[in-house]
Structure 1
Amino acid sequence: MTHRDLARTRANGGFTLLVALGVVLVVTMAVMLSYRVVGREADTQADARRQKEAFFAAEAGLAEGREAIRLRTGITEETYANTLTTIINSGAEVTELGLAGANPPWYELLPAGPGDPWNYLRLTPGDMPAHEKQGADGVAYEDYPEQNNVRYRVFVRDDVDSDPGAVPNTDTNGLIWVAAVGEVLNRDGRPTRAVVQALIANQTGAVAYGPGCNMAGCGADNNYNNSREQNAPDVSQMESLPNNTPP
């Protein structure tokens, strides 16, 4: 082999090496890009899941808060004045940053243990019955996910009553706000939160809702003894749909 042929072979080998390095670089960049897209999609799905969990926790806290208000309010009471007074006297006013100084003030409706104001929706093996920790064949599960990072808080405050001279923390119109905050902790640091609130009204006596006569006010016994429907429905004239069935 001449010196010229040897130089040409080395040049071809060097070009092939550059092409191979270029292909490896392109494949590596494609793999890294795919990994980044997949990771971002996983993070998005995780955020959406945590947002739903936080919302459901807030809804559960709101339902529990409304029931707590109902149990603390007397059947014959027309306002929440006594209920609010009891909550105020218990020292439940929230003084944390962001809620302190509100007018009317916010009060902790469902206080948790000392040092941690949050109520936790935990689900651990100790809370599960035996049949939930084993399969249909009776074999115990070796491992299963636990729930330790979902929590909620519930607050209550008086609404702005129609009376301009009303005391901010004394109810006069039978309406108060109940707000619940649901939160899901994660290892990244920043928690995911959801807030729901409802303006609830104090109402004495039972209320029945149903289709037809009940909704019109005739009562559950269908006796038409009310101010809207004094007589039974007029059935003297009745119409039926035409029979369009082909012969």
Structure 2
Amino acid sequence: MGIVTMVTLAVLLSYGMVSREAEVQGDGRRYKEAYFAAQAGLAEAREAMRIRLGVDETYTPAIQAMLALQVNEPGLNGGARPYFEVLPGPGGAGTWNSLAINEADLAPAERQSPSGEDYAAYPRQENVRYRVFLRDDEDGDPSGALDDNKQVWLIAIGEVVGPDGSRPTRAVIQALITNENAPAVTSPGTVMTGGGSDNTYSTTADAPDDFNDVATLSSAP
């Protein structure tokens, strides 16, 4: 009887250890998926901000255009420096973007193994999603809606949703992006001496020499 009890306890202990190891590995896998989703969202947000920036020298016009996307959620109200939704989800601001795989978007090579065999099934990532926020850094303007140093923060959150009642797995990435647009330098007319605002030599400067004249140089030493 004692031997049976010891064997039973050993089996239960081994089962518990295997279960904990599987749980740890599952958490690690879900975190990698969430981290990848955050990276994808951050890359998309950087491009979105580049387009919104245009030729402006600061992010102020882009932030002003996003005032309606200010986030007022628990933990994200931002205080004096609000958060703005960079990539609103399908349901508008406050909703997530899905990273699910759409089979129609896959190339034929992506649906097959290296040997050319069609995959019977593959993860569709329907439980993977992301959101990205913009927040002004601590520059000279405390309002958070005006940028005066050409820098803002992008904060990307990737999330893997588990079964009902379970906790989600999240990864957060933030990056300080810098606007490198330089001010345009223009001047009226040409930049040569004598150039006027109408591109003619109508100023008081001397007109250039007539370069059609040919001068004969002496060949004497």
TM exceeding 0.5: yes
Q: Is the aligned partner of 1:196 residue 2:173?
A: yes
Q: Give a deviation string over 1:170-220, Cα, whole Å, max 9, x none.
A: 111211111111111122610011111111111125xxxxxxxxxxxxxxx
TM-score when normalising by structure 2: 0.74
- Identify the match of residue 31 of structure 1 among 1, 4, 11: 11
Q: Is the aligned partner of 1:146 residue 2:121?
A: no
Unaligned runs of 5+ in 1: 1-20, 206-247
SS across alignment from 1:176:
strand
Unaligned runs of 5+ in 2: 183-221
Which is richer in helix?
1
Query: Partner letter of residue 181 of structure 1?
Result: I
Rounded to whole Å, the distance in 2 between the matches of 1:137 and 1:155 is: 42
Q: After the TM superposition, which residues 1-247 of structure 1 pair with which residues of structure 2 at under 5 Å, given as runs?
A: 21-75=1-55, 77-88=56-67, 91-114=68-91, 117-135=95-113, 138-162=116-140, 167-187=143-163, 189-204=166-181
SS across alignment from 1:23:
helix
Rounded to whole Å, the distance in 2 between the matches of 1:111 and 1:201 is: 22
Answer with 1 or 2: which has the greater Rg: 1
**Number of corresponding residues:** 180
The answer to whether the 8 Å contact 1:177/1:200 transfers is yes
* % identity of equivalent residues: 49
Classify 1:189/1:129 alpha carbon distance in 2 versus 1 (closer, same or farther; 3 Å).
Answer: same
Q: Give a deviation string over 1:73-113, Cα, whole Å, max 9, x none.
A: 122x221111111111xx10101111125221101000011
Rounded to whole Å, the distance in 2 between the matches of 1:59 and 1:201 is: 18
RMSD: 2.0
Classify 1:135/1:54 alpha carbon distance in 2 versus 1 (closer, same or farther; 3 Å).
Answer: closer
TM-superposed deviation, 1:69: 0.7
The answer to whether the 8 Å contact 1:62/1:178 transfers is yes
SS across alignment from 1:152:
strand
TM-score when normalising by structure 1: 0.67
Classify 1:31/1:154 alpha carbon distance in 2 versus 1 (closer, same or farther; 3 Å).
Answer: same
